[in-house]
Amino acid sequence: MKVSSISAYPVLDSRGMWTVEVSLMLQNGVRAAASAPQGKSTGAAEMRALPAAAAVKSVANIVAPRIVHKDFRNQAELDEFLVRLDGTKNRARIGANTMLAVSIAFLRAMARTKKAALWKHVRDEYGLWVDPTAKALRPRLFMNVVNGGLHAENGLHFQEYMIIPKSRTFAESVEVGAKIYHALGSALAKAKGRGAANLGDEGGFAPAFRNDLEPFLMIRAAARKMKLEKKIDLGLDAAATDIKGMSRRQLKNFYKKLIKGFKPLYIEDPFGENDFKSFAAMRAEYLGNGMGAGAPGVRSALWIAGDDLTTTNTDRMAVAQAKGSVNAVIVKPNQIGTVTEALNAVRMARAYRWAVVVSHRSGETNDDFIADFAYGVAADGLKLGAPARGERIAKYNRLLQIEREAAE
Ligand code: PEP
Ligand code: MG
């Protein structure tokens, strides 16, 4: 399929920062657009994103002259061409954000050409292979209801306090999560007064707390009040690379208390982004021999996930596997730059028997691609913030629509 035109322009993300959107047209007249999200607690090993103005120029000056009128048989051909065209190790020439917007726009245009829903097209590209013993093909929702770390100004050391509904449908999961989210908002306003229910970057509440465990106490109380405590698991993204003022020992002690008191299902980035060893020690401590035996991610009682550790990069994932660091992994397409590479990261995680959690970024646009991606690859989870703010709601509503499409 030939691309007949492509252009890029700046758009705003949810923090009011510029990012890049790409619009392309195929030779058959089908058009599609896509924009790139932006992180704040980014991993040092992530591929480089260009400033929006430079990304726009890179489409005009580098990408367009080389891909317009060129024939690409499939997604992998386009994506491999982009990687070669960039030619750098860290995507500094074209920009991983630019590449991702081009890659997703092409994927969308190809899905439209086939008249297929985007998630169905993702499924074809992925060649859906799912662990036959896995129970569901539907990702669980990782709803971030209290924001801290770099995503809020409240002094919490940890970045994301999540509820993870157990429900079997998106509709019911959203219902359960939203009820607890609203009950939590009311409880915070009551306990902490004016402004306590104001929102952080991902739509979670962001008041000052007495300590780093109080958010979970209040989440649990809100869930109890709604009689929904048994319908959720709890999760934490520590985003530990960005934690200031806590030693490794203090982190370990915190996780010990957290695990004892709250039995979370999920802990992401418990240690710094290059500390494969401390991840491995934690995995061994809580899950036994850390080399995968007895602790395949999805069925494990505790998912220890890499994000800044692994950066959707198969080289870093291989290191994490060799060292026994994790049994779950975050997949963020913009950390790597193309849809094909993000699919490869999922394939590798499946081969390692890790749980796969697809994730948004803290700076999002209204592009809802990750909903189709997560459903398309049958991820175990999708991290998508709180059920609030337009850019998060876009993903929630797309999941609800996917559920209806899948039932047809
Ligand atoms: C994260 O760390 O998982 C996250 C979504 O944050 P950011 O997009 O700011 O890196
Ligand atoms: Mg993270």
Q: Which of 46, 307, 309, 357 should be mutated for ligand 1, with most atoms under 8 A from CB? A: 307
Calculate mean pLDDT across residues 211-239: 98
Q: How confident is the model at residue 127 (pLDDT cuts 50, 70, 90)?
A: confident
Which residues lie below 8 Å from residue 112, measured CB to CB, with a gap of 6+? 30, 32
Region class of 185: left (phi > 0), else alpha (psi between -120 and 50), else beta: alpha
What's the CATH code, domain 135-407? 3.20.20.120
pLDDT at 133 over 50: no
Q: Which ligand is nearest to the CA of 43?
A: 1
Task: Looking at the CA of 204, name the nearest ligand.
Answer: 1
| Residue of 14, 38, 40 with the most ligand 1 atoms within 8 Å of its CB, for mutation | 40
Nearest C-alpha neighbor of 106 from the set 9, 4, 174, 259: 4
Ramachandran area for residue 149 (φ above 0: left; ψ -120 to 50: alpha; else beta): left
| Mean pLDDT (whole number) for 341-367 | 96
* Span from the CA of 381 to the centroid of ligand 2 (angstroms): 13
What's the pLDDT band for 301 if we cut at 50, 70, 90? Answer: confident
pLDDT recorded at residue 296: 59
Please give the share of the chain, as a percent, with pLDDT higher than 90. 91
* Ligand at shortest distance from the CA of 14: 1
Instruction: Round to whole Å and give the CA distance between 63 and 57.
Output: 9
Q: What spacing in Å lies between the alpha carbon of 394 and ligand 1's midpoint? A: 18
Q: Which residues line ligand 1 (CB under 6 A)?
A: 39-42, 237, 239, 307, 359, 361-362
Average pLDDT, the chain: 94
- Lowest mean pLDDT: which of 94-98, 129-133, 186-190, 276-280? 129-133
For the segment 281-294, the average pLDDT, to the nearest whole number, is: 72
Ligand 1 atom nearest the C-alpha of 40 is 9
DSSP assignment letter at 205: B
Domain boundaries, the chain: 3-115, 135-407
For residue 276, name the pLDDT band (cuts at 50, 70, 90).
Answer: very high
Band of the pLDDT at 135, cuts 50, 70, 90? very low
Quickly state the pLDDT bin for 130 (edges 50, 70, 90): low
Residue 290 reports pLDDT greater than 50: no
Rounded Cα distance between 347 and 126, Å, is 8
Q: Does residue 5 surpass a pLDDT of 90?
A: yes
Query: Quick one: pLDDT at residue 303?
Result: 95
pLDDT of 323 above 70: yes
| pLDDT confidence tier of residue 293, bands split at 50, 70 and 90 | very low
DSSP 377: T
> Is 287 or 365 the better-scoring residue by pLDDT?
365
Test site for ligand 1: of 144, 150, 362, 391, most ligand atoms within 8 A of the Cβ: 362
Catalytic positions are 202, 332
pLDDT tens-digit series, residues 143-157: 999 999 999 999 999
Ligand 2 centroid distance, CA of 330 (Å): 7
The pair phi, psi for residue 157, each rounded to 5°, is -70, -35
Q: Give residue 292's pLDDT.
A: 47
> Contact, 199 vs 152, CB < 8 A?
no
- Give the residue-averaged pLDDT of 276-284: 95
What phi and psi, each to the nearest 5 degrees, are found at residue 275? -90, 60
Evaluate if residue 294 carries a pLDDT over 80: no
In this model, does residue 134 exceed pLDDT 60? no
Atom of ligand 1 nearest to the CA of 151: 9
Distance (Å, rounded) from C-alpha 46 to C-alpha 335? 5
Any idea which residue has 């997560």 for tokens?
A: 374
Q: How far is the CA of 24 from the centre of ligand 2 (A)?
A: 31
Q: What is the mean pLDDT of residues 83-101?
A: 98
Q: Is the pLDDT of residue 384 over 90?
A: yes
Return the pLDDT at 406. 87
Greater model confidence, 146 or 294 = 146
pLDDT tens, position by position, 27-70: 999 999 999 999 999 999 999 999 999 999 999 999 999 999 99
Judge contact between 22 and 8, C-beta under 8 A: yes
CB 239 within 8 A of CB 39: no
Find the mean pLDDT for residues 311-336: 97
Q: Running DSSP on this structure, what letter comes out for residue 230?
A: G
User: Model confidence at 179, in pLDDT bands (50, 70, 90)?
Assistant: very high
Rg (Cα) of the chain, in Å, rounded? 20
Note the pLDDT of residue 194.
84
How many CB atoms sit inside 10 A of residue 205's CB?
28
- Yes or no: is domain 3-115 CATH 3.30.70.260? no
Q: How far is the CA of 143 from the centre of ligand 2 (A)?
A: 13
Query: Is the whole-model pTM more than 0.85?
Result: yes
